[in-house]
Structure 1
């Protein structure tokens, strides 16, 4: 009989948080790409504050770049980690 791993509760917690953050980032990206001016989310008031950032005239005219960055930085890595936790592949040590 195989003994349950002592890491199983930690794996479940990690799976929850990676899915929560990853799916939240994908949802945020969809909202930013569907409404680039941010009126539906109430983020249109934030756009003037982005104008002090470098390359503001190129990147921060709307929320498109922010949405793509959210997907690349938060969405994809967390969903990849969740897939690896679910797959129990050889890359996962525990």
Structure 2
């Protein structure tokens, strides 16, 4: 009986890992899609970015100003480069 219970627990743990992996993958895809969309809008036309910001502002609350968002993006890029250089 103990072997059956152990196998049952192992199977449940495997299902939990698979579910967690699916959720993590889905969340990563959403984040990547949003980053691509925002980058394309910001690079192409400021009015599209402004319109997107206004829509998001009404849904999610106050967003940072454009200058602050640029500064935050620069800080993020610098940190990313630091992590890459430290990992080598």
TM tier relative to shorter chain? 0.3 to 0.5
TM-score, reference length from structure 2: 0.46
Q: Which has the higher contact order (CA 8 A, sep 6+)?
A: 1
TM normalised by structure 1 equals 0.44
Mark the structure with the bigger radius of gyration: 2
